[in-house]
Amino acid sequence: MISIIRIQSQEQKEWICNYLVSHKDKLQEGIEGKGQLLYLSNRAKHEDVSLFIHTIDTDALGDFITDHLNQIEHITSIWVISMIKPVFYPLPRDTKNMKRYSITLKVYPKKLKEIYQTIASATLEEGLKMAYIAYTCHLFGDCIQFSILAENEDILKKYVTEGVNKIPGVLKSTVNPIVKTWPLVSYDEWKKYSSKHGIVPSWDEESMINQFQE
């Protein structure tokens, strides 16, 4: 299972980011054989950071949170979001000139599957690249999250306004710019791990790790 752990720290977000990145090896040791840290992202205008992690089960995730994350200074709260039926897309190797965004959707319940399939299979215009999509059900009504890389914000706004928001059943969209993303696993490590656990073969592409490099 792949989860997004939102880690909140009042006025200490940068410190938390730096701590998680600099202590990634020690944190990985805490779930060795039971999971793998994937990457860390920092959303603009939010007092939390997002740690993406794969674990073999909920017990391993719970132990990691209570034994390791909750022991870190300045952390005030943790929120766990499950990525259900995630789809990851191959991206170009060089994304230095593209900015990452996460988009969450509040949808009419009976249209959930149809909306997911529409976005997952959409052909995006030049300047946009889909990174992932998943059911998240992280708030009442907010059931889908996906990530897009865009060459500029105007192209993204046009896609969301004229494309996503007009899909029947979409009630509200929220766009969150990503300030920065840090990889917490090398390609070789991910290849070995994903092969062992049979995780989404389409994600096992070198570009899916290289895309995060600055």
Q: What DSSP string describes 5-30?
A: EEEE-TT-HHHHHHHHHHTHHHHHHT
Question: If pLDDT is split at 50, 70 and 90, which confidence band does 199 have?
Answer: low
Nearest C-alpha neighbor of 41 from the set 23, 62, 20: 20
Residue 213 lies in a domain: no
Domain count, the chain: 2
Question: If pLDDT is split at 50, 70 and 90, which confidence band does 203 have?
Answer: very low
Same structural domain, 120 and 163: yes
Q: Does residue 20 have a pLDDT over 60? A: yes
Please list, in sequence order, all residues whose beta carbon lies within 8 angstroms of the beta carbon of residue 214, skipping any fewer than 6 positions away.
Answer: 96, 180
Same structural domain, 110 and 65: no
Same structural domain, 62 and 138: no
Listed range (8-17, 23-32, 90-99, 143-152) with the worst mean pLDDT: 90-99
Residue 212 lies in a domain: no
Q: Which amino acid is at 62?
A: G
Q: What is the pTM of this model?
A: 0.84
Contact 54, 169 (CB under 8 A): no
Contact 39, 181 (CB under 8 A): yes
Same structural domain, 147 and 187: no
Q: Does residue 83 have a pLDDT over 70? A: yes
Same structural domain, 111 and 7: no
Average pLDDT over every residue of 187-198: 72
Same structural domain, 173 and 193: no
Same structural domain, 79 and 120: no
Average pLDDT over every residue of 110-118: 95
Average pLDDT over every residue of 62-83: 93
How many whole angstroms separate alpha carbon 163 and alpha carbon 112?
Answer: 16
Contact 136, 82 (CB under 8 A): yes
Same structural domain, 92 and 28: no
Range of the domain at 108: 86-179
Domain harbouring 58, CATH code: 3.30.70.920
How many whole angstroms separate alpha carbon 2 and alpha carbon 115?
Answer: 21
